[in-house]
Chains A and B, each alone.
Chain A
Amino acid sequence: EPEVTQTPSHQVTQMGQEVILRCVPISNHLYFYWYRQILGQKVEFLVSFYNNEISEKSEIFDDQFSVERPDGSNFTLKIRSTKLEDSAMYFCASSPGRGITTTYSGNTIYFGEGSWLTVV
């Protein structure tokens, strides 16, 4: 079964450094998302991306964050000048398109395994 892949699985960075988290969505999917989960807390939506532009973003996704699809396969999340509170698991996800269900479950969103970011 096709899957969303994320790299790195774990990254430790110093406060103030820039971090790029990488994702390879499922190849024929059109929508891409980033979420984060601070340890012990709920998963939170960050941003959705469609047709090479941001379609929605949350209050969390401020100027410190940016997303890019630099080529036909990768989808990246850049965090500039990281802060201690950016430490979290970051999940990438993708979906084939609005109203398209692909499985018994009606599932349309496929998640990666996550990238742990630790800011020290």
Chain B
Amino acid sequence: KNEVEQSPQNLTAQEGEFITINCSYSVGISALHWLQQHPGGGIVSLFMLSSGKKKHGRLIATINIQEKHSSLHITASHPRDSAVYICAVGGGGSQGNLIFGKGTKLSVKP
């Protein structure tokens, strides 16, 4: 069974800082998702990766398949980025059959 580990568990940053959240998994996967969970509980999918790098606005996601590792970067962080960021991996079955990490709680202070 795949184990998904995220670090750090909690992260406090000052507005404008560059932020990195890491995700490691133990078994080969077909895709990795980065998700954002709002304080109210709702989940938004940010990226799905199977290789390389993706960028949207201030968010960048990378994945290294050989090392079984992915990172989510936030440039020029803002208080509205405060949320829980969750890494989830899929093994090739149903694309929704995901194993989730515990999440990284990010708080960005003004």
Seen from chain A, the residues whose Cβ lies within 8 Å of a Cβ on chain B are: 31, 33, 37, 41-45, 48, 50, 55-56, 58, 89, 91, 93, 95, 98, 101, 104-114, 116
Which chain B residues (45-63) contact chain A, with CB distance < 8 Å?
45-50, 54, 56
Q: How many A-B residue pairs have CB under 8 A?
A: 79
Which of B35, B44, B45, B99 is in CB contact (< 8 Å) with A45?
B99
Binding site secondary structure of chain B: strand
Are A111 and B43 in contact, CB atoms less than 8 angstroms apart? yes
Q: Considering the chains assembled together, what is the distance between the CA atoms of A55 and B103 in angstroms?
A: 27
Seen from chain B, the residues whose Cβ lies within 8 Å of a Cβ on chain A are: 33, 35, 40-50, 54, 56, 86, 88, 93-103
Are A42 and B42 in contact, CB atoms less than 8 angstroms apart? no
In chain B, what residue has the closest Cβ to A100? Answer: B95
B33 nearest CB across to chain A (Å): 7
Are B88 and A43 in contact, CB atoms less than 8 angstroms apart? yes
Are A106 and B48 in contact, CB atoms less than 8 angstroms apart? yes
Are A44 and B100 in contact, CB atoms less than 8 angstroms apart? yes
Q: Considering the chains assembled together, what is the distance between the CA atoms of A24 and B41 in angstroms?
A: 18
Which of B54, B101, B102 is in CB contact (< 8 Å) with A104?
B54
Which of A37, A105, A109, A113 is in CB contact (< 8 Å) with B96?
A109
14 A–B contacts from the bound complex (CB under 8 Å): A31-B95, A33-B94, A33-B96, A42-B100, A43-B43, A48-B94, A48-B97, A56-B94, A101-B48, A105-B46, A106-B47, A106-B48, A107-B48, A111-B43
